Amino acid sequence: MKVVTTINELRDHIKSIKSNHKSIGFVATMGALHKGHLSLMERAKKENDVLVTSIFVNPLQFGPEEDYEVYPRSIEKDRELAESQKTDILFAPSVDEMYPRSMVNEVNITSGTDVLCGKSRPGHFNGVATVVLKLFQLVQPDYAYFGQKDAQQAAIIKNMVNDFNIPVHVVACETMREEDGLAISSRNIYLTDKERRQSAFLYESLQRAMHQVKEGIIDPLVLQEEIHSYLKKHTDAEIDYVQILSFPELKEINTIAGQIIIAGALQFTKARLIDNILLHVNEMEGGNKYVSHHDEI
């Protein structure tokens, strides 16, 4: 595994790979690697000739009151984990390398940022899209892999790729979970023992809503209230949001039909947790509905 910290060195490696007509699979991370990241790397390696993994804690996507300064960083452990997944190039630039001067231009996402995580994190997805665009320009991947846990992020990146004709296939993969259903996240280490026990109720509440859809409930407001009440009853966390939207458009809906996302976010003392379930709801003869659960976007 080659560890690369400068843009010029990365460009040299990418130029060589492209000249040999090898495909590149790319996994962008902020480090603190866990099983979710490793599953993305494993798939990227399996489906491409070369695996490039990046580790960069991007300051543009953190708000002034968020956890940029204390976001978990473990570069030596991350190197070992990246190498264990047969990463060919690990790109780990500094902030000064990625942003040598103040940005004159940034990506401005105009749709899908006023709901879910974007509602309480203004500017977050502009920061995400800006760094992802820079990384796509540098790595020039054929395929880029993201986790479904961050479904809003994956949808926004897919839309950016489509809007700007970026020659990258965005692949969103199944969320990796703990045994009790909690989505694996770098921020889970911030949970107290009590909060860790309560955290499993987030996914459970979404699953309950999914089953209610299968039973015929099609009013999103009713389901959102059910999820909200369930989380209030079983956790001490502040409920950031509970929303049911069309997907990938991320628009509010009056009735549950087509492809939708059921999503929620909880703010515990030091950890903010997000999760979602994607469903496809089809109308069948006789008014019955067929509901399928999508593990991947």
Instruction: Tell me the CATH number at 211.
Output: 3.30.1300.10
In tens, the pLDDT along 126-175 reads 999 999 999 999 999 999 999 999 999 999 999 999 999 999 999 999 99
Tell me: pLDDT of 296 over 80: no
Count CB neighbours of 152 within 10 A.
26
**Contact status, residue 178 vs residue 251, Cβ threshold 8 Å:** no
> Are 125 and 243 within one domain?
no
SS3 call for 131? helix
The catalytic position among 13, 37, 228, 294 is: 37
In tens, the pLDDT along 83-110 reads 999 999 999 999 999 999 888 899 999 9
- What pTM was computed for the model? 0.91
| Burial (Cβ within 10 Å: 0-12, 13-18, ≥19) of residue 36 | buried
User: Is 180 within the bounds of a domain?
Assistant: no
Binding residues for ATP, by number, are 30-37, 147-150, 184-187
* pLDDT at residue 285 in the model: 47
> Are 169 and 199 within one domain?
no
What's the distance, Cα to Cα, between the start and end of the chain in Å? 30
**Contact status, residue 154 vs residue 162, Cβ threshold 8 Å:** no
Tell me: pLDDT of 297 over 70: no
Q: What is the DSSP letter of 177?
A: B
Tell me: pLDDT of 80 over 80: yes
Least confident piece of the model among 117-131, 210-224, 277-291: 277-291
SS3 call for 175? coil
Local confidence band at 66 (pLDDT 50, 70, 90 cut-offs)? confident
**Contact status, residue 144 vs residue 168, Cβ threshold 8 Å:** yes
> Are 89 and 223 within one domain?
no
Domain containing 109 equals 2-173
> Are 62 and 154 within one domain?
yes
Query: Tell me, what CATH number does 154's domain have?
Result: 3.40.50.620
In tens, the pLDDT along 208-267 reads 999 999 999 999 999 999 999 999 999 999 999 999 999 999 999 999 999 999 999 999
Q: Is 37 a catalytic residue?
A: yes
Domain boundary among 122, 139, 173: 173
Tokens of 34: 């866990």
The alpha carbon torsion through 84, 147, 57, 104 (nearest 10 deg) reads 130
Burial 38-72 (b: 16+ CB within 10 A, else e): bbbbbbbbeebebbbbbbbbbebbbeeeeeeeebb
> Are 110 and 8 within one domain?
yes
Binding residues, by number, are 30-37, 61, 147-150, 153, 184-187
* pLDDT at residue 64 in the model: 80
Rounded mean pLDDT of the chain? 94
Tell me: pLDDT of 204 over 60: yes
| Burial (Cβ within 10 Å: 0-12, 13-18, ≥19) of residue 164 | exposed
Question: Partners of 291 in the beta sheet?
Answer: 281
Question: CB within 8 A of 200, min separation 6: which ones?
Answer: 178, 180, 181, 182
> Are 114 and 250 within one domain?
no
> Are 259 and 149 within one domain?
no
